[in-house]
């Protein structure tokens, strides 16, 4: 089943190099061809996370990716890479949501002009890329619809929404605060198997037993109210109320 990917940058830019092309240029990297897809993002285009997940790596490879970010989607076991960046706004080990700004584009590393190199690969449950002998070091064609389903065009951030509402205009008059959220890391991503300790049987019984009914604070006073079993003390207010009612019944005229 195809994995889901959302917007990866703000704007609408075409493709300058498809997956698998220019085999001669990529032979030196031990690959059959281009291991991702290049988008014609101009310098300083805002890049956003296409999936939620962990910032698996922020690195710099002068002969290849230049400044790059890898995001691991721990739900879909999908790793994505954004390369040749100008700057990075996230750090390794950070957990982010889709739509989180990760940096801006440029042409750092092995690149002849500003663009975004985007790659995608399947991983195991630890975020390690699979199929590394597929001729592309485990990367697959991000535009192969059977591998990735792109949900794009839906505004992922407030800024994107504002820009779409004001095409061709940078948000000068509208002061927008982009709120980003971080998520908690999942608890069960670990090298060792986690052992969950079952609660004591007594604890379960206590949990399942309904709470004892709480006595009403106010209401019709009864003998039960007077003789409180728990404290064995008398409720004098209740006794007074009952005696008053009794006296009214016996001596209706007197009480008036
Ligand atoms: Zn590329």
Nearest Cα to Cα of residue 85 among 64, 61, 68, 63: 68
Residue 206 in any domain: the answer is no
What is the 64 CA–ligand 1 centroid distance (Å)? 9
**Prediction pTM value:** 0.62
What is the 39 CA–ligand 1 centroid distance (Å)? 8
Q: Mean of the pLDDT values across residues 73-82? A: 98
pLDDT at 170: 44
User: 41: exposed, middle or buried (C-beta count within 10 Å: 0-12, 13-18, 19+)?
Assistant: buried
What is the 103 CA–ligand 1 centroid distance (Å)? 17
Name the residue with higher pLDDT: 116 or 245: 116
Is pLDDT of 33 > 70? Answer: yes
Is pLDDT of 54 > 70? Answer: yes
What is the 178 CA–ligand 1 centroid distance (Å)? 29
Among candidate residues 127, 147, 165, the one where a domain is terminated:
165
Residue 215 in any domain: the answer is no
Residue 190 in any domain: the answer is no
Is 163:171 a contact under the CB 8 Å cutoff?
yes
Q: Rg of the chain's alpha carbons, rounded to an integer? A: 33
What is the 29 CA–ligand 1 centroid distance (Å)? 13
What is the 169 CA–ligand 1 centroid distance (Å)? 29
Nearest Cα to Cα of residue 16 among 87, 114, 103: 114
Is pLDDT of 234 > 90? Answer: no
Query: DSSP assignment, residue 98?
Result: T
Same domain (yes/no): 151, 237: no
Per-residue b or e along 111-133, where b marks 16 or more CB atoms closer than 10 Å to that residue's CB:
beebbbbbbbbbbeeebebeeee
Same domain (yes/no): 134, 35: yes
Q: Mean of the pLDDT values across residues 96-111? A: 96
Same domain (yes/no): 155, 247: no
What is the 162 CA–ligand 1 centroid distance (Å)? 29
Per-position DSSP letters for 16-77, written without gaps between them = EE-TT--HHHHHTTT-SS--SEEE-PPTT-EEE-SS-EEEEEEEEETTTTEEEEEEEETTTT
What is the 59 CA–ligand 1 centroid distance (Å)? 16
Residue 46 in any domain: the answer is yes
What is the 21 CA–ligand 1 centroid distance (Å)? 10
Is pLDDT of 237 > 60? Answer: yes
Range of the domain at 236: 223-255
What is the 34 CA–ligand 1 centroid distance (Å)? 6
What is the 74 CA–ligand 1 centroid distance (Å)? 24
Query: What percent of the chain has a predicted confidence (pLDDT) above 90?
Result: 58
What is the 116 CA–ligand 1 centroid distance (Å)? 7
What is the 27 CA–ligand 1 centroid distance (Å)? 14
Is pLDDT of 215 > 90? Answer: no
CA distance 99 to 53: 11
What is the 248 CA–ligand 1 centroid distance (Å)? 96
**Dihedral, 47, 52, 57, 62 alpha carbons, nearest 10:** -20
Query: What percent of the chain has a predicted confidence (pLDDT) above 70?
Result: 67
Residue 158 in any domain: the answer is yes
CA distance 127 to 146: 21
Number of domains in the chain: 2
């Amino acid at each position: 089943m195809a994995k889901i990917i959302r917007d990866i940058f703000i704007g609408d830019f075409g493709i300058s190099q498809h997956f698998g092309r220019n085999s001669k240029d990529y032979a030196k990297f031990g690959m059959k061809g281009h291991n991702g897809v290049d988008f014609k993002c101009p310098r300083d285009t805002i890049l956003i996370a296409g999936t939620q997940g962990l910032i698996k790596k922020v690195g710099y490879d002068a002969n290849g990716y230049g400044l790059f970010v890898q995001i691991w989607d721990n739900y879909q076991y999908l790793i994505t890479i954004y390369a040749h960046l100008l700057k990075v706004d996230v750090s390794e080990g950070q957990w982010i949501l889709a739509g989180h700004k990760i940096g801006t584009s440029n042409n750092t590393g092995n690149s002849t002009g500003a663009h975004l190199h985007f790659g995608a690969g399947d991983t195991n449950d630890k975020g390690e890329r699979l199929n590394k002998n597929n001729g592309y070091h485990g990367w697959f064609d991000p535009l192969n619809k059977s591998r990735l389903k792109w949900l794009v065009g839906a505004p992922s951030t407030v800024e994107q929404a504002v820009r779409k509402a004001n095409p061709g205009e940078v948000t000068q008059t509208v002061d927008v605060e982009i709120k980003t959220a971080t998520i908690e890391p999942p608890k069960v991503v670990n090298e060792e198997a986690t052992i969950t300790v079952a609660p004591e049987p007594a604890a379960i019984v206590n949990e399942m037993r309904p709470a004892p009914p709480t006595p009403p604070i106010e209401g019709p006073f009864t003998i039960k109210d007077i003789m409180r079993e728990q404290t064995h003390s008398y409720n004098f207010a209740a006794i007074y109320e009952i005696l008053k009612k009794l006296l009214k019944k016996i001596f209706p005229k007197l009480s008036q």
